[in-house]
């Protein structure tokens, strides 16, 4: 099994061929299948003797692969799509084949050094200080959780009294992963700050909420989460206003830019992020709007020592990697073993240069603005939220929930586009999330026409 054979060589070449073909062409959207359909096509694949390389690869190419949607399709506008560069994809193949362990400096110094340069680019865009740093984790969920754990540990260390219950300030639009981390994993309380007319948290609303709180609840607050690009409507909270309140209260400011943080690279929207330089922690997912493959979240701390104090694991067998002054990614998040998941992003940045990133993000913003215009002048549509970034929230006048569902199914069935319903202020609507620089205004026109 471990000895490399001529058969391995042949299949490795076929897999490379398959990857090159997918990278060069435009993959179809494809479609989900039911468990019964898939089982009928694959039969049992895990057997005593194995089904062999050819059959396993055939099943992927003919059955399993086509049952996975092409999230990087130009007209895949659901959730937050992903549009990795060619270089980031093929470097991901190299990362897998090299099997780099990048949990520690001792084992993965070269990988960690390169990842840290990519992190530094993001830290500079955000205006974080020279000493800022962190690591790449699996996604925004793990990034948010790790940052909030560091925040709570800091509060535990520095406070002289214990609150009845720890608490974190959020809004209704704060991502579900933050709420899950706070409520379920950390058993802390959520203090919901009312959003403005577009759902943004402002410093004034945060202060007003604090002023109206039971002092016992207020006493438990250790952090506030500002969202730099809400997932559903793509607007940026009033980070500077929130930072001022957090600073006055001694709270940790975490900025969740999992989706929208990429906007830092685009001069046309950069002012929306003012105040992010004051964050204690910040995340952005390169697998969302920074053109890297799944899965990678850049997690940055203003003061990495605070993260180390929360996350460094101690055990006799780990002591050899815990060397003063060495940058161990495992010190900054809840994970130990780690794939060098920031490397595909780093390679792509190194290959194309940061100007290309700025232009690609601006390109998606330009198409979004043109899309907003298209919706404004389409009589049967209504633009529900003025966009800050690259999400358009749209009502089809006269449609109910089942009309939206039927439309989504039809577009996917005809392999035209993948656009799902969402809700805004309790009402069903749809949204276009545009992170792919290949998406054109003609693509949006095609989808808009399908709603007539
Ligand atoms: C997507 C998203 C997350 C979660 O990130 P994952 O990479 O899916 O774990 C968190 N916050 C925001 C604002 C997001 O858009």
Q: Hey, what are 48's tokens?
A: 């005593």
Q: Give, in order, the Cα–Cα distances in Å from 174 to each of 235, 338, 355, 364.
A: 11, 27, 31, 23
Q: Give, in order, the Cα–Cα distances in Å from 364 to each of 86, 272, 274, 295.
A: 18, 17, 21, 21
What sections of 159-233 are H helices per DSSP? Answer: 176-179, 203-211, 215-218
Distance CA 60, CA 383 (A): 41
CA of 59 to the centre of ligand 1 (A): 32
User: What pLDDT is attached to residue 321?
Assistant: 87
**Residue pointed to by tokens 């830290």:** 123
Q: Hey, what are 10's tokens?
A: 């042949």
CB of 282 shorter than 6 A to ligand 1 = no
Instruction: List Cβ neighbours of 400 (8 Å cut-off, separation of 6 or more).
Output: 428
**Mean pLDDT, range 7-32, rounded to an integer:** 96
When pLDDT is cut at 50, 70 and 90, the band that residue 18 belongs to is: very high
319 pLDDT above the threshold of 90? no
User: What pLDDT is attached to residue 8?
Assistant: 96
The atom number, within ligand 1, closest to the CA of 144 reads 10
CB of 388 shorter than 6 A to ligand 1 = no
Q: Which sign, positive or negative, has the C-alpha torsion 119, 124, 126, 128?
A: positive
Overall pTM surpassing 0.95 (yes/no)? yes
Instruction: Give the max Cα distance, the chain.
Output: 72
Percentage of the chain surpassing pLDDT 90?
Answer: 98
- For residue 424, the SS3 value is strand
CB of 140 shorter than 6 A to ligand 1 = yes
| Per-position b or e across 155-182, b if 16+ CB within 10 A of its CB | beeeeeeebeebbbbbbebbbebbbebb
Tell me the per-residue pLDDT of 332-354, one tens digit each, with 9 for 90 and over: 999 999 999 999 999 999 999 99
User: What pLDDT is attached to residue 137?
Assistant: 98
Give 185's DSSP letter.
I
The atom number, within ligand 1, closest to the CA of 141 reads 9
- For residue 12, the SS3 value is helix
Q: Hey, what are 371's tokens?
A: 């899309």
Q: What is the mean pLDDT of the chain?
A: 97
When pLDDT is cut at 50, 70 and 90, the band that residue 322 belongs to is: confident
Closest listed residue to residue 251, CA positions, set 294, 185, 207: 207
CB atoms within 10 A of CB 16: 12
CB of 82 shorter than 6 A to ligand 1 = no
Q: Which sign, positive or negative, has the C-alpha torsion 147, 232, 239, 216?
A: negative
Percentage of the chain surpassing pLDDT 70?
Answer: 100
Q: Which backbone phi and psi does 126 adopt, to 5 degrees?
A: -80, -15
CA of 231 to the centre of ligand 1 (A): 7
Distance CA 79, CA 422 (A): 9
When pLDDT is cut at 50, 70 and 90, the band that residue 190 belongs to is: very high
CB atoms within 10 A of CB 409: 12
* DSSP string of 313-381, one letter each residue: ---GGGGGG--TT---GGGGSS-SS---TTHHHHHHHHHH-HHHHHHHHHHHHHHHHHHHHHHHT-TTE
Instruction: List Cβ neighbours of 181 (8 Å cut-off, separation of 6 or more).
Output: 141, 144, 145, 148
198 pLDDT above the threshold of 90? yes
CA 221 to chain centre: 26
User: What pLDDT is attached to residue 383?
Assistant: 98
Residue nearest to atom 10 of ligand 1 (CA): 140
The atom number, within ligand 1, closest to the CA of 227 reads 13
When pLDDT is cut at 50, 70 and 90, the band that residue 64 belongs to is: very high
User: What pLDDT is attached to residue 311?
Assistant: 97
CB atoms within 10 A of CB 427: 11
Tell me the per-residue pLDDT of 80-127, one tens digit each, with 9 for 90 and over: 999 999 999 999 999 999 999 999 999 999 999 999 999 999 999 999
Mutate to test the pocket of ligand 1, among 201, 256, 299 (most ligand atoms within 8 A of CB): 256
**Mean pLDDT, range 178-207, rounded to an integer:** 97
* DSSP string of 428-443, one letter each residue: EEEEEE---TT--HHH
When pLDDT is cut at 50, 70 and 90, the band that residue 323 belongs to is: confident
User: What pLDDT is attached to residue 399?
Assistant: 98
**Mean pLDDT, range 272-298, rounded to an integer:** 98
The atom number, within ligand 1, closest to the CA of 297 reads 7
Tell me the per-residue pLDDT of 215-256, one tens digit each, with 9 for 90 and over: 999 999 999 999 999 999 999 999 999 999 999 999 999 999
By the 8 A CB rule, do 260 and 228 touch?
yes
**Mean pLDDT, range 284-303, rounded to an integer:** 98
CB of 439 shorter than 6 A to ligand 1 = no
Mutate to test the pocket of ligand 1, among 81, 136, 140, 170 (most ligand atoms within 8 A of CB): 140
CA of 174 to the centre of ligand 1 (A): 10
403 pLDDT above the threshold of 90? yes
When pLDDT is cut at 50, 70 and 90, the band that residue 59 belongs to is: very high
By the 8 A CB rule, do 251 and 296 touch?
no
**Residue pointed to by tokens 């309790």:** 426
Closest listed residue to residue 82, CA positions, set 389, 293, 266, 233: 293
User: What pLDDT is attached to residue 325?
Assistant: 86
């Amino acid at each position: 099994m471990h000895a490399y054979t001529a058969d391995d060589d042949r299949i490795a070449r076929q897999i490379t061929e398959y990857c090159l073909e997918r990278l060069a062409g435009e993959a179809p959207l494809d479609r989900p299948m039911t468990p019964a359909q898939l089982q009928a096509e694959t039969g049992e694949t895990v057997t005593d003797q194995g089904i062999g390389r050819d059959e396993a690869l055939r099943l992927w190419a003919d059955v399993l692969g086509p049952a996975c949607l092409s999230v990087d399709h130009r007209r895949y506008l659901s959730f937050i799509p992903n549009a990795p560069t060619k270089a980031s994809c093929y470097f991901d193949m190299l990362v897998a084949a090299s099997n780099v362990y990048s949990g520690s400096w001792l084992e993965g110094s070269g990988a960690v050094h390169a990842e840290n340069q990519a992190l530094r680019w993001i830290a500079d865009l955000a205006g974080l200080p020279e000493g800022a740093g962190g690591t790449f984790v699996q996604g925004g969920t793990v990034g948010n959780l790790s940052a909030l754990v560091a925040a709570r540990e800091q509060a535990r260390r520095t406070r002289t009294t214990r609150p009845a219950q720890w608490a974190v300030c959020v809004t209704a639009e704060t991502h579900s992963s933050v709420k899950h981390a706070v409520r379920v994993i950390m058993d802390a309380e959520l203090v919901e700050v009312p959003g403005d007319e577009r759902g943004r948290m402002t410093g004034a609303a945060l202060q007003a909420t604090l002023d109206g709180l039971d002092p016992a609840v207020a006493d438990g607050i250790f952090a506030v989460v500002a969202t730099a690009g809400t997932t559903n409507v793509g607007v940026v909270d009033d980070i500077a206003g929130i930072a001022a309140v957090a600073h006055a209260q001694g709270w940790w400011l975490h900025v969740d830019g999992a989706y929208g943080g990429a906007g830092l690279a685009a001069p046309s929207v950069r002012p929306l992020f003012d105040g992010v330089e004051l964050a204690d922690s910040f995340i952005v997912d390169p697998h969302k709007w920074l053109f890297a493959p799944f899965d990678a979240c850049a997690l940055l701390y203003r003061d990495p020592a605070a993260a180390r104090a929360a996350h460094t694991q101690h055990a006799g067998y780990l002591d050899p990697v815990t060397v003063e002054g060495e940058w161990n990614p495992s010190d900054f998040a809840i994970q130990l073993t780690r794939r060098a998941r920031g490397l595909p992003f780093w390679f792509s940045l190194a290959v194309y240069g940061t100007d290309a990133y700025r232009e690609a993000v601006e390109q998606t913003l330009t198409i979004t603005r043109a899309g907003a215009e298209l919706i404004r002048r389409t009589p049967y549509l209504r633009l529900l939220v003025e966009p800050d970034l690259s999400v358009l929230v749209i009502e089809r006048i006269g449609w109910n929930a089942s009309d939206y569902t039927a439309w989504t199914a039809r577009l996917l069935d005809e392999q035209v586009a993948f656009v799902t319903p969402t809700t805004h202020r309790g009402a069903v609507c749809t949204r276009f999330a545009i992170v792919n620089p290949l998406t054109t205004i003609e693509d949006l026109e095609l989808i808009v026409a399908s709603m007539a």
